[in-house]
Amino acid sequence: MLRQVNLTSDKTPKRALLSYLESPVQRTISGENIYPFSNYGLAVELVRGLNQCGYLVDVIDWNASKLPKGETYDVFVGHGGLIFDKIVKSNAVKRTVYFASGSAAAFHNAESAKRTKAFNKRHDTNFHPDRPVDPAEQKIYSKVDGLICLGNDTIAATFPELKSLHHLNIAASPKAHLMFEELGRKQKHVLFFSGGGNIHKGLDLAIEAVIGTDIHLHICTAIDPKFQAVYEQNYSPQDLANIHWHGFVQHNSRKFRKLIRRCQFVVLLSCSEGSPGSLIDVMQYGLIPIVTPACGLDMTGAGFIVKDIGIANIKQQLMRATGEPRDEVRSRAQMTRELVEKDYSLAVFNQSLRRGLKKII
């Protein structure tokens, strides 16, 4: 456990306990620069936000099963349901805040189950949901004094009516300097850059939508070998010639930069998100987003929202987006950069987080 962390110069007698991630906070105290923002920088900013609201912060990992012995706190901010029941039942904390990095647990699990069932039906397989959330989290929401979630109104609406609910956008990671970042960009090259959960994130939908087209899909995520095998067994090498399986690609690596320079669009067809950091991180370079409403983005014309997730409709949307006149594509790319600068900066995140904390505590 990290005790009485203060990342600002303000002194205060008030105390908070944060249950999220210890390591990024410890590394920041040691002078390291944390990259990327999600989830590492996010852990640091939760501490900083509490500091700025007047609290010294003790930090434990989200999966800790025990409360710090003999300690009392003015506020507890936690992620996940493992320790919440103990917190609520104890006399150690005056106020409790749930921090949700995604949609409500019941919504998340139901949507993930639907996607998995649809995949299994199309391919005669027996996959299980690949990003499940502990259902016990749903029971916690009604027990806390307030909830802060990542995402827009669409994400906030997945939660039950609460005493206090505040939603906010995630911040983009620090942007790498890429000279001539648009010079080699190909309008028919689309990036899929996400965390784990191939079916949950809609990778299957993206693959099946681009098969038979002149669109190239660059897949940058941890790939389940059994998932990949479904396509390699059911489609010919020629069918998959425009599918590029890169696997996990590290932020800001040489390969990351190469793909950022190559692709003009980024696609994420997830069934449940909060505010997807990996998507925002590539949008800041001008990659135009093609996303589902569940991705929690308000784009005001910068990109494309895919409401109908039928393969034929997704294919149509991708063809339309990648077939727009070059001047319109450049305009959308600039709008995307400006959107990230305006709504997904560290300053905006910090201000909104403090506003949410003050409203609840």
Using H for helix, E for strand and C for coil, what is the string for 62-125?
A: CCCCCCCCCCCEEEEEECCCCCHHHHHHCCCEEEEEEEECECCHHHHHHHHHHHHHHHHHHHCC
pLDDT of residue 38: 84
pLDDT of residue 83: 80
Indicate if the pLDDT at residue 178 is higher than 70: no
Fold of 2-106+115-122+128-171+345-360: Rossmann fold (3.40.50)
Q: How high does pLDDT run on average in the chain? A: 92
Sheet harboring 93-100: ordered strands across?
A: 2-5, 56-61, 15-20, 73-78, 93-100, 146-150, 165-168
Those residues with Cβ within 8 angstroms of residue 186's Cβ, 6 or more apart along the chain or in another chain: 216, 262, 263, 264
Euclidean distance between CA atoms 79 and 151, whole angstroms:
15
pLDDT of residue 307: 96
223-241 average pLDDT score: 97
Q: Which of 37-51, 112-126, 139-153 has the highest mean pLDDT?
A: 112-126
Report residue 179's pLDDT band, with 50, 70 and 90 as the boundaries: low
pLDDT of residue 54: 93
pLDDT of residue 91: 81
Indicate if the pLDDT at residue 181 is higher than 70: no
pLDDT of residue 182: 62
Euclidean distance between CA atoms 32 and 40, whole angstroms:
12
Q: Where are the domains of the chain?
A: 2-106+115-122+128-171+345-360, 186-343
pLDDT of residue 35: 72
pLDDT of residue 148: 97
Euclidean distance between CA atoms 323 and 144, whole angstroms:
49
Of the options 3.40.50.300, 3.40.50.2000, 3.30.300.30, 3.40.190.10, the CATH number for the domain spanning 186-343 = 3.40.50.2000
Is residue 1 a contact partner of residue 60, using CB atoms and an 8 Å limit?
yes
221-233 average pLDDT score: 98
Q: What is the pLDDT of residues 249-273, one digit of tens each?
A: 998 899 999 999 999 999 999 999 9
From 29-33, 48-52, 72-76, 185-189, the region with the lowest mean pLDDT:
29-33
**Short-list 226, 268, 245, CA closest to 119:** 226
Measured from the Cβ of residue 122, the count of other Cβ atoms closer than 10 Å reads 13
Higher pLDDT residue, 54 or 11? Answer: 54
Report residue 174's pLDDT band, with 50, 70 and 90 as the boundaries: confident
Indicate if the pLDDT at residue 183 is higher than 60: no
Per CATH, 2-106+115-122+128-171+345-360 and 186-343 having the same topology is answered yes
* Backbone Cα Rg of the chain: 21
pLDDT of residue 64: 86
What are 235's two structure tokens? 């489609």
pLDDT above 90 covers a percentage of the chain that reads 77
Q: What is the pLDDT of residues 288-301, one digit of tens each?
A: 999 999 999 998 88
Indicate if the pLDDT at residue 9 is higher than 70: no
Q: What is the pLDDT of residues 330-346, one digit of tens each?
A: 999 999 999 999 999 99
From 8-12, 87-91, 286-290, the region with the lowest mean pLDDT:
8-12
pLDDT of residue 177: 67
Indicate if the pLDDT at residue 226 is higher than 90: yes
3-30 average pLDDT score: 85
